[in-house]
Amino acid sequence: MRDEISEVLRALGIAPEALAPVRLTQYERVLNTILNTFTTYGSRGRDQFWLWEGFKGEQAHAMLPEPLDPALLLQFVAPDERVWFVTEDWGGTKRDGHYWVFEGQTRAITQLLQELFAFEYYLVAKDFSWLLCENHHNTLIGVGPTMVSRVRAFESARQQNLQA
């Protein structure tokens, strides 16, 4: 997965400062903080599939009829905001755990997601105050007060548009 992402980033001409894997010296700290903050698994979550099944705290869900258009992520997170980007290792190439962690701008992540599909990912605030996930059931999940309110507003507007 990491190699695929790196290939797509190169092909798109996305600079490393816009989106890059976290350094090995940071990886464990960042991932463990995410797991301890947002899941009931804690650091054991490194070996779990589907982190969203173990989210803790208040959450909001938006059930989508199809995968989210990545450009819509910009309704939730500013294009230039730097976030942690966590992806599952669907290819099974990772030696330690099931997740890759990247750091970068939301705009670069949306460009990447336009080229890749059918995998779960998580966007996490750099200060670990919120998390946004899209899972393989086309469900958008927000955790943390900021993202809970944004996902609720998104789902409410979506439901109103469906009824109109």
CB proximity list for 154: less than 8 A, separation 6 or greater: 62, 75, 76, 140
Taking residue 8's Cβ as centre, other Cβ atoms within 10 Å add up to 17
In this predicted structure, the answer to whether residue 121 has a pLDDT above a threshold of 80 is yes
- Please tell me the pTM assigned to this model: 0.89
Torsion angles phi and psi, residue 140, rounded to 5 = -95, 125
pLDDT band at 115 (very low <50, low <70, confident <90, very high): confident
Strand (E) or helix (H) holding 141? strand 139-143
Please check the confidence at residue 164 and state whether its pLDDT lies above 80: no
